């Protein structure tokens, strides 16, 4: 769950295919490489299945994930009417696992997207403007780097109190610094290239240079790095809920379900482990997809 040190070398994506006859451009060739990568395709398929089923959960004709039943508690897997058994309050596990994907995925992806926007803007600004502004932004980030990421997330959520919004807020704060660092280092590298000087010499404004020349070269590595953070974010969000700091009961959420089912490990151990399997599968798929994306986009990170 640790955020890996962001060392990015962006020299690679800048070298675009220069074959005169069949020049496909950068993004189409990335897409072509992705289509030929079976591992990434399978992972994308699994993720798509999880995402779609959790979005369409109300339409799937599942049991009510909130309906408790004192008689039908902790049914084992494969019970009639309850394919994956029932939880400690007699709620249908299959329905809760599918519905649980809604919050778990939402809480894993949202902070990374928010952090990508904020951290990306801060990092690109710091890298492009340089000087004192770079100093100011990056030194503030250093302060956040002085905390182990899990500790920062838990302390912030602990102080703010439990709840979905607070968890999103603290996770976003945790992911801004690493994204900012990557964006800054990539932008600083791009800024040194001749075409930026050329654009400036031809009278382009700073905003135009960033929009036209910097963003295109910087976005790839930042996106790849951000996708690798999603699996971290999903585990961390589930961990916070597991501690009772995230989603509140009776909402279905994988981390929270792991927590409440802990009392059942002596009665029905397989059932108690199920929500973790969902987290595990999702996180593996995101990691493999991020690896595939990195290879396809030819980013060394």
Chain residues that interact with another protein, rule: CB under 8 A: 1-5, 139-140, 142-144, 146-152, 154-156, 158-161, 231, 235, 238-239, 242-245, 255, 258, 262, 265-266, 269, 272-273, 275-276, 279-280, 283-284, 287-288
The dihedral through the CA atoms of 200, 206, 209, 210 has a sign that is positive
Residue nearer to another protein on the CB measure, 153 or 210: 153
Residues belonging to the chain: 301
Give least dist CB 202 to another protein, A.
Answer: 39
Residue nearer to another protein on the CB measure, 218 or 271: 271
Residue nearer to another protein on the CB measure, 7 or 208: 7
Within the chain, where are the H helices? 11-14, 26-35, 38-55, 93-129, 131-145, 149-160, 164-191, 194-201, 206-209, 215-242, 254-260, 269-297
Give least dist CB 193 to another protein, A.
Answer: 25
Q: Which residues contact 41 (CB under 8 A, 6 or more apart)?
A: 34, 35
Give least dist CB 243 to another protein, A.
Answer: 6
Residue nearer to another protein on the CB measure, 32 or 262: 262
Give least dist CB 152 to another protein, A.
Answer: 8
Give least dist CB 78 to another protein, A.
Answer: 19
Give least dist CB 253 to another protein, A.
Answer: 13
178 is written with which tokens? Answer: 């690493």
Q: At what angle do helices 26-35 and 269-297 cross, to 10 degrees?
A: 140
Residue nearer to another protein on the CB measure, 209 or 240: 240
As a whole number of angstroms, the distance between CA 11 and CA 132 comes to 26
As a whole number of angstroms, the distance between CA 124 and CA 118 comes to 10
As a whole number of angstroms, the distance between CA 47 and CA 215 comes to 28
As a whole number of angstroms, the distance between CA 93 and CA 254 comes to 11
Residue nearer to another protein on the CB measure, 59 or 159: 159
Candidates 88, 83, 48; CA nearest to 68 is 88
Give least dist CB 138 to another protein, A.
Answer: 11
Residue nearer to another protein on the CB measure, 57 or 258: 258
């Amino acid at each position: 769950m640790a955020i890996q040190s962001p060392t990015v070398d962006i020299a690679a994506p800048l070298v675009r295919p220069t074959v005169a006859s069949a020049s496909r451009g950068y993004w189409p060739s990335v897409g072509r490489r992705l289509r030929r990568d079976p591992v990434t395709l399978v992972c994308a398929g699994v993720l798509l299945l999880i995402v779609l089923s959790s979005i369409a959960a109300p339409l799937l004709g599942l049991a009510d994930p909130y309906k408790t039943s004192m008689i039908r508690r902790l049914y084992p897997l494969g019970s009639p009417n309850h394919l994956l058994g029932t939880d400690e309050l007699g709620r249908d596990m299959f329905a809760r696992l599918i519905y649980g994907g809604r919050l778990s995925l939402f809480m894993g992806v949202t902070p990374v997207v928010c952090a990508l926007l904020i951290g990306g803007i801060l990092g690109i600004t710091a890298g492009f403007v340089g000087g004192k502004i770079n100093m100011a932004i990056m030194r503030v980030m250093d302060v956040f780097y002085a905390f182990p990421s899990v500790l920062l997330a838990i302390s912030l959520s602990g102080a703010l109190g439990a709840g979905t919004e607070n968890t999103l807020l603290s996770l976003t704060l945790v992911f801004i610094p690493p994204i900012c660092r990557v964006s800054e280092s990539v932008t600083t590298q791009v800024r040194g290239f001749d075409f930026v000087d050329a654009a400036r010499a031809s009278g382009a404004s700073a905003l135009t240079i960033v929009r036209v020349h910097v963003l295109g070269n910087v976005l790839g590595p930042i996106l790849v790095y951000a996708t690798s953070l999603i699996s971290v974010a999903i585990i961390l969000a589930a961990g916070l809920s597991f501690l009772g700091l995230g989603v509140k009961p009776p909402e279905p959420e994988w981390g929270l379900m792991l927590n409440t089912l802990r009392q059942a490990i002596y009665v029905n151990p397989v059932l108690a482990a199920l929500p973790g399997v969902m987290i595990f599968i999702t996180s593996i798929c995101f990691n493999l997809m991020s690896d595939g994306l990195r290879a396809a986009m030819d980013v060394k990170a």
